[in-house]
Structure 1
Amino acid sequence: MTCPQVCSGAALQCSFGAAPGVLNVLPANRVLAGGMPAATIMDSAPIVNIAPFAMCQSPSNPAVIAATAAALGVLTPMPCVPAATAPWIPGGAPTVLIGSMPALDAMATLICMWAGVIKIVQPAQTSVLIP
């Protein structure tokens, strides 16, 4: 099964986020996919690579916990600040390397510290396929 290579501008969605986010890839590796910088599994830094998902609804997020307590137990979403602590988990065969890191494919997932699962909704290109 083949899967598209992910590049800068890909649309992301967190399971606890209120809106889609965007993947930003710095052009450090000088590899392009569909005319944009290609992503690796290490492109997982909050804010730098992973844009916020508007409002966070995770009951594990300390800001949501505090706001919910202040609202007497009514779940109160707070602004999202992604908190990924590990690289992307490859979804396909990580046989393609960019620099010395496996390329990021559209099947990969990223775990947020606040229990959210971040998935790639649209890889931002479809012309380069990873076998």
Structure 2
Amino acid sequence: MGQLVCGGAMLKCSFGAAPGMLTVLPQNMVTTSMPIANIMDNKPMVNITPFGMCSSMANPMVASATAAAFGALTPMPCIPVTAAPWAPGSPTVLVANMPALNNSSKCMCNWGGIIEVVNPGQVTIQVP
């Protein structure tokens, strides 16, 4: 069984240089000591904070900086772009009528990065 993810969870991106954090707004109205996340807590800069520097060549800022440096990879500041919700979530446990977010879920960044949960923010509640 996986761990239920709540606000303050630590995230990592496959192209990011530093960990990020999941911020869950209290609109779901389900809390432990922090609000509990569902799969729709995927909004960039609201729910998912930046991951330091981005090194994905699919990111236009990285591509242009790399071209300006004559092909030497030049990471640029991360601005996550996540259009799709977290997947797969926990379909049997609902938070605000959406599947709860568990620690095995992933979120895709439009620049090719895979965002995953490193620390779920709590360790006492398990979900399938």
Normalized against structure 2, the TM-score is what? 0.97
User: What is the aligned partner in structure 2 of residue 119 from structure 1?
Assistant: 116
TM-score, normalization: structure 1?
0.95
Superposition pairs of residues 1-131 of structure 1, within 5 angstroms: 2-33=1-32, 35-90=33-88, 93-131=90-128
Looking at structure 1, the residues matched to 4 and 29 of structure 2 have their Cα atoms a distance apart, in angstroms, of 15
Count of residues in Structure 1 that have an aligned counterpart in Structure 2: 128
Structure 2: state its 5+ residue gaps. none
Cα RMSD after superposing both structures: 0.8
- 1:67-120 deviation line (CA, Å, top 9, x unaligned): 0011010000000000011000125x4210011100000000000000000000
CA shift at 1:29, angstroms?
A: 1.4
2:28 and 2:112 mapped to 1: Cα distance? 30
Structure 1 unmatched runs, 5+: none
In structure 1, distance between residues paired with 2:29 and 2:83 = 25
Separation in structure 1 between the aligned mates of residue 28 and residue 18 of structure 2, nearest angstrom:
29
Moved over 2 A (4+): none
Residue by residue over 1:3-45, the C-alpha shift from the partner in whole angstroms, topping out at 9 and shown as x without a partner, is 1100000000000000000000000011013x10000000000
CA-CA distance at 1:126 after TM superposition: 0.7
Q: Identical aligned pairs, as a percentage?
A: 55
Cα distance in structure 2, aligned partners of 1:127 and 1:27: 20
